């Protein structure tokens, strides 16, 4: 943790305007075709710099916009601002990660270039880090915050649903915000950063295991200049990102949940195939065998592709043999457990056979899951 960031006493002892911040700030701004906004944001940051006598650097992390952005930063004449042009590993989140890595000061701030995020809130955010907060978020969803009036219903709904889906990962009200501050030391310790899409704050909250995240209310202004890059494709990437984060945070529960969903899909496939074969007039035994055969293959493929995707570059034939073997042993376990229970715990009970069968199915499934998780798709020996 940093020593005091504040030169002159705690925040509530004096008005914010009088506080002098003596720790340098690195402000990271990911950009793509933001040439019109660059002079405006630099002027607002310069005003802030002078008001608070800040030591800061501003790094524009640009994905090779080629729209005059480089020249716009140079023309500002501010020696504390520079542009880093990126040609590899493009994308907003990676631009921020690269900027955080390149930063030279102990406090990191991330913000958009389109003036949606008020730079004037930065001192309050930095102040939060001076207490025990690990991250401070410029938030649209805490009391005192607001958004421009023309946020349509769909945009609002979209944002609410996205935030709700992240709720099991963090209680932060606005984890989707692109405006946040944290310590460089915490960033340097972060491991396994692997974001897809836009939600870099959420990625950092989960991967740094931040429990103390403070929120500062902001007024979120819609962009006036330039175009939004938040396309539908980006929004779909969020689902992929969420899946990764859930896997990271709740690995075992997620593997089991996905395994069960795949199992349920297998029931549907089985019945569909069986009915189709019956329609074309095959004998019952062949219909049953067809349903089982196809659903075993689809279950295997789905588990390999999704549930245990970390192992999908391993030998498919060996995995398939293991999968079928585990299923066969699972069936045997199910049969054995059912028989034993039928003759012991459930003996003489009405529906005793059905109850015994249900327990057998559960035991078989658990065996099957464990066999796949720890043997067929085990995590060791993953080829890089
Ligand atoms: N380096 C880099 N920056 C990006 C990329 N996509 C967007 N940005 C920047 O990230 C910030 C946020 O992007 P926006 O397009 O404003 O996305 P948004 O704020 O979610 O949506 P709107 O405000 O409605 O446009 C802006 O400063 C963009 O210039 C990218 O692929 N690479
Ligand atoms: Mg924006």
CATH code assigned at 176: 3.90.550.10
41 CB within 6 A, ligand 1? no
Q: Which ligand is nearest to the CA of 238?
A: 1
Q: Are residues 256 and 232 in the same domain?
A: no
Ligand 1 center to residue 228 CA distance, Å? Answer: 6
**Is residue 5 a part of any domain in this protein?**
no
Ligand 1 center to residue 347 CA distance, Å? Answer: 66
Ligand 1 center to residue 92 CA distance, Å? Answer: 7
- pLDDT, mean of residues 11-36: 74
Domain with 30 in it: 11-249
So what's the pLDDT on residue 21? 66
Rounded to 5 degrees, what are φ and ψ at 108?
-110, 135
Q: Are residues 221 and 96 in the same domain?
A: yes
So what's the pLDDT on residue 382? 44
Residue 197 · residue 237 · CB < 8 Å? yes
Q: Are residues 233 and 94 in the same domain?
A: yes
Q: Are residues 205 and 145 in the same domain?
A: yes
Q: Are residues 140 and 220 in the same domain?
A: yes
Does the pLDDT of residue 350 top 80, yes or no?
Answer: yes
Q: Are residues 187 and 327 in the same domain?
A: no
95 CB within 6 A, ligand 1? yes
> What residues flank ion ligand 2 with Cβ within 5 A?
112, 114, 116
**Is residue 220 a part of any domain in this protein?**
yes
Q: To the nearest whole percent, how much of the chain has pLDDT over 90?
A: 68
Q: Are residues 20 and 152 in the same domain?
A: yes
Rounded to 5 degrees, what are φ and ψ at 83?
-115, 135
Task: State how far the alpha carbon of 292 is from the alpha carbons of 45, 56, 134, 273, 301, in Å.
Answer: 65, 65, 52, 9, 14
Does the pLDDT of residue 298 top 70, yes or no?
Answer: yes
**Distance from C-alpha of 49 to C-alpha of 126, rounded to nearest angstrom:** 13
Task: State how far the alpha carbon of 289 is from the alpha carbons of 119, 284, 286, 295, in Å.
Answer: 66, 9, 5, 10
Does the pLDDT of residue 339 top 60, yes or no?
Answer: yes
**Candidate from 32, 38, 117 with most ligand 1 atoms within 8 A of CB, to mutate:** 32
Does the pLDDT of residue 52 top 70, yes or no?
Answer: yes
230 CB within 6 A, ligand 1? yes
Ligand 1 center to residue 230 CA distance, Å? Answer: 7
Does the pLDDT of residue 152 top 80, yes or no?
Answer: no
Q: Are residues 233 and 314 in the same domain?
A: no
**Helical (H) or strand (E) element with 186:** helix 184-189
200 CB within 6 A, ligand 1? no
Does the pLDDT of residue 13 top 50, yes or no?
Answer: no
Residue with tokens 């946020």: 151
Q: To the nearest whole percent, how much of the chain has pLDDT over 70?
A: 93
Closest Cα to atom 11 of ligand 1: 112
**DSSP structure class, residue 305:** I
Q: How many Å separate Cα 293 from the centre of its chain?
A: 36
Number of domains in the chain: 2
Q: Which ligand is nearest to the CA of 199?
A: 1
Q: Are residues 189 and 210 in the same domain?
A: yes
Does the pLDDT of residue 231 top 80, yes or no?
Answer: no
So what's the pLDDT on residue 251? 87
**Is residue 366 a part of any domain in this protein?**
yes
Q: Are residues 120 and 192 in the same domain?
A: yes
Q: How sure is the predictor about 72, in pLDDT bands with cuts at 50, 70 and 90?
A: very high
Ligand 2 center to residue 92 CA distance, Å? Answer: 11
Reference 307, options 204, 220, 358, 376; nearest CA is: 376
**Candidate from 27, 198, 229, 233 with most ligand 1 atoms within 8 A of CB, to mutate:** 229
**Higher pLDDT, residue 161 or 230:** 161
Q: Which ligand is nearest to the CA of 148?
A: 1
**Is residue 313 a part of any domain in this protein?**
yes
**Is residue 22 a part of any domain in this protein?**
yes
**DSSP structure class, residue 11:** G
Among 249, 284, 307, give the residue marking a domain's end.
Answer: 249
**Is residue 224 a part of any domain in this protein?**
yes
Ligand 2 center to residue 117 CA distance, Å? Answer: 8
Closest Cα to atom 9 of ligand 1: 31
Reference 61, options 35, 39, 94; nearest CA is: 94
Closest Cα to atom 26 of ligand 1: 112
Rounded to 5 degrees, what are φ and ψ at 84?
-110, 120
Among 249, 275, 294, give the residue marking a domain's end.
Answer: 249
Q: Are residues 244 and 257 in the same domain?
A: no
Does the pLDDT of residue 47 top 80, yes or no?
Answer: yes
**Residue 86 CA: which ligand 1 atom is closest?**
1
So what's the pLDDT on residue 223? 83
Does the pLDDT of residue 108 top 50, yes or no?
Answer: yes
Q: Are residues 192 and 120 in the same domain?
A: yes
**Distance from C-alpha of 128 to C-alpha of 145, rounded to nearest angstrom:** 17
Lowest mean pLDDT among 152-156, 196-200, 302-306, 307-311: 152-156
Among 249, 267, 289, give the residue marking a domain's end.
Answer: 249
Closest Cα to atom 29 of ligand 1: 31
**Is residue 36 a part of any domain in this protein?**
yes
- pLDDT, mean of residues 321-346: 91
**Distance from C-alpha of 247 to C-alpha of 252, rounded to nearest angstrom:** 8
Tell me the average pLDDT of the chain.
Answer: 89
So what's the pLDDT on residue 380? 67
């Amino acid at each position: 943790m940093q020593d005091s960031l504040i030169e002159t006493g705690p925040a509530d002892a004096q008005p914010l305007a009088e506080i002098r911040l003596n720790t340098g700030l690195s402000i990271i701004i990911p950009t793509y075709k933001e040439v019109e906004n660059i002079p405006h944001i630099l002027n607002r940051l310069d005003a802030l710099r002078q008001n608070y006598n800040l030591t800061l650097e501003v790094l524009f992390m640009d994905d090779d916009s080629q729209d005059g952005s480089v020249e716009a930063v140079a023309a500002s004449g501010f020696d504390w601002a520079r542009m880093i042009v990126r040609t590899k590993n493009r994308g907003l989140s990676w631009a921020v990660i690269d900027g955080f890595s390149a930063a030279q000061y102990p406090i990191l701030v991330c913000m958009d270039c389109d003036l949606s995020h008020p730079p004037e809130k930065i001192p309050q955010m930095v102040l939060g880090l001076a207490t025990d907060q690990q991250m401070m978020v410029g938030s649209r969803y805490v009391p005192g915050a607001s958004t421009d009036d023309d946020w349509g219903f769909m945009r609002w709904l979209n944002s609410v649903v996205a935030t709700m889906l992240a709720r099991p990962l963090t209680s932060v009200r606005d984890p989707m915000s692109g405006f946040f501050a944290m310590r460089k030391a915490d960033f340097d310790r972060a491991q396994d950063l692997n974001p897809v899409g836009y939600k870099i704050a959420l990625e950092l909250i989960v991967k740094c295991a931040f429990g103390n995240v403070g929120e500062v209310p902001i007024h979120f202004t819609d962009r006036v200049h330039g175009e939004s890059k938040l396309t539908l494709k980006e929004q779909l990437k969020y689902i992929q990102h969420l899946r990764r984060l859930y896997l990271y945070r709740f690995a075992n529960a997620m593997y089991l949940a996905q395994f069960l969903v795949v199992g349920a899909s297998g029931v549907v496939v089985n019945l569909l195939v069986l009915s189709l074969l019956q329609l074309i007039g095959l004998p019952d035994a062949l219909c049953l065998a067809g349903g089982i055969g196809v659903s075993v293959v689809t279950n295997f493929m789905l588990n390999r592709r999704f549930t245990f995707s970390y192992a999908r570059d391993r030998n498919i034939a060996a995995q398939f043999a293991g999968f079928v073997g585990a299923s066969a042993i699972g069936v045997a376990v199910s049969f054995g457990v059912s028989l034993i229970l039928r003759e012991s715990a459930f003996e003489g009970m009405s529906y005793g056979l059905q109850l015994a069968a249900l327990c057998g199915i559960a035991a078989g499934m658990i065996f099957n899951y464990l066999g796949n998780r720890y043997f067929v798709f085990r995590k060791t020996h993953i080829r890089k």
